[in-house]
Amino acid sequence: MTRVFKIQVFFVILVLVCGLIIHAGGLIGFDFSRIPGDLIDARFNNYILEHGYMYLTGKVHTFWSAPFMFPIENVIAMSDNLMGTLPLYSMFRLTGLDRETAYQCWIITMMIFNFAGALYVFNKLSNNVFASAIGAYIFAFSIVLVGQYNHVQVLPRFIIPFAFYFIIVFFRTYNLKYFLFALLSLVYQFYCGIYLGFLLFLGMLIMLIVYSVIQYKSTFLQLKKIRFALQFIGIIILSILLLYPMMKPYYDMSKIIGMRPFTESMPHIKSYFYANGGSPLWKFLGNIGDDLPACFNIRLFVGAIPWLSLTALIVFWKRILKDIKIVIITLFLLIIFTLKVGDVTLYKIIWLIPGFKSLNDIARIINIQLFFFGFFVTYAISMLINYLKGKTWIIALVFVFMLADQFINSKEMVTFSKAENQQRISNIVNKLVKYDLSKYDAFAFCPDNADGIGIFNIDAMLASQLVNKPTINGYSSTCISAICDFLISMDISSLKKWIAEENLNKEKILICFESDTVNKIPAKTIQLKVNSTGKFVCSDGFQDQTLVGDRENAAEWETFKLIERPDDKVNIKAYNGKFICVDKTKGNILIADRNIAGEWETFKIEKQKGGTIALKASNNKYISCNRKIKQTLIANKDSIGDTELFTIIYK
């Protein structure tokens, strides 16, 4: 092993380890105590993977008709199916790991695969291992991904670099095997996640068009060859046939539930300069897009180094290869066709392509665009090394800058406790096993209140896997007929309606209640004043119970219940009987919409001078009355200032 090769291997491992420490360490913890995301989407993906494992091991008999939303069939076709990476998850389960730990290992493996896939492709294109490792870090561990970890179904992305690489090589050589490899990569990405499958298809389609236009003479000459044209068409047909077994269930389901209306959840120009929270270097960009709709989903700032690399390539446009120019043009077109400027967007054209009407979060296109940004970083660094005549010390300097540029404070990552999650599910399982489950066709879990419906439905779904009994509870962005009423209200009347509609035997449906989780700690009635303005805090029923500090007088909406816990912390209930929560999925704003007081619903009161207090949330941030966002209460301050002081008025 040569000295240069040893240094290359060391550097690659160093870059990968740094990414895993920051991202996997922050999301999962070195003790494997945390799971990334919230208690809804993250656990739903865990359910899907576990269901696939149970199917492969013969514990359930059908894949598409998973045992939730009983007795509806084909329910997996309402979401991503994750089949492409199911074997990896199953391998971890077969080693004896429990469901949640295998899920954590799957997440870490996806991160490693994403890095390795990008590293291989970037090195093939640049022939520079050092630059490729830094570019691969951008693809696998960019700061923009902090906003994507709530939806870990987009984590399997490692095939994306290969798909674009094969297109590039195809147009260099016009060897049809590379076109075949490109489309097989696309097919596999669909099996990994149908959402990114469609978005990758869009990126590949644009790149194919750009190449065909720029190399129109060569492309036309090839297509004039009958054998070439027939093989070209044959590869497309083969890819469609390979997709058919997966796409047919989705097509069948679309005929029942319909397609989505035109989405408004897409990137704006400001999105690409709107940084995720937790970046020490780019903290000042963390609020510039707060006025955008669904702003917590469209923070797409990838850091300075990728943008500087792209700028450098444009500046030296005449010196870069034609392939690089085509990649740059492809990225710009991909951004333009998924961008909304005012009320104008070209995405309305893309929306007409079959399948795209099933998508509603177009901001996930950043997962595709990261290939381009990573490639630009790789190529720009390679050019810099060549300009400096091989002086590799520049790599160490760029690596340090890259870590600073891409660093994320792990405390800002949305996670939940694995142990607490398992305890939630265990509570339901303990209730179920008291019954002879063989007498029932399915069970329905009914919580005391329907607050946090997604969480409770996922609780029931995960419990159903442990007892291997179908459940009427379920979760999806869409649902069918009368079961929607039950999934939203989770009460007896809506359950009876569903049982009657499906002509189910009510004696065969076990109803499991949550009754023993009601909080019985005595509460004190209070009102809360913002010290800096003298105005009362309100749980605004017209704004989804968001807490705002802008009311001149105190009435019902400005009255709260303070519950003093044995651990010297407090929970606070609003007039609607719901606990106040710091919602980390919505930028840490305060919302009164939770039935159960957990980590996010717990606060610490810190007494200040003059009888005022400060409230510290579970993210270790102080609650502030943000004047820039309509006096919204938000937990985002590291220190106590004028806007972080409140006065409690006991009634």
Which backbone phi and psi does 97 adopt, to 5 degrees?
Answer: -70, 145
For 493-522, give one letter per residue: b (16+ CB within 10 A) or e. Answer: ebbeebbeeeebeeeebbebebeeeeeeee
pLDDT of residue 145: 92
pLDDT of residue 516: 41
Euclidean distance between CA atoms 89 and 106, whole angstroms: 6
State pLDDT tens for residues 35-75. 998 888 999 999 999 999 999 999 999 999 999 999 999 99
pLDDT of residue 521: 53
Q: What angle is formed at CA 140 by the lines to CA 171 and CA 397, rounded to 5 degrees?
A: 95
**Rounded average pLDDT over 424-441:** 90
* Cross-strand partners of 445: 512
Highest mean pLDDT among 157-166, 377-386, 387-396: 157-166
The percentage of residues in the chain with a pLDDT greater than 90, rounded to a whole number, is 60
Tokens of 263: 């989405």
Highest mean pLDDT among 126-130, 174-178, 384-388, 560-564: 174-178
State pLDDT tens for residues 76-127. 998 889 999 999 999 999 999 999 999 999 999 999 999 999 999 999 999 9
The amino acid sitting at 58 is: G
State pLDDT tens for residues 519-535. 445 688 999 999 988 99
Highest mean pLDDT among 255-264, 336-345, 411-420: 336-345
Euclidean distance between CA atoms 204 and 164, whole angstroms: 7
pLDDT of residue 518: 35
Instruction: Count other C-beta atoms under 10 Å from residue 337's C-beta.
Output: 18
Q: What is the mean pLDDT of the chain?
A: 89
Answer yes or no: is pLDDT of 292 > 80: no
Provide DSSP, 543-597.
Answer: GTTEEEEEESS--GGG-EEEEE-TTS-EEEE-TTSPEEEEEGGGTTEEEEEESS-
Provide DSSP, 621-648.
Answer: -EEEEEGGGTTEEEEEESS--GGG-EEE
pLDDT of residue 174: 96
Place of tokens 């291992």: 129
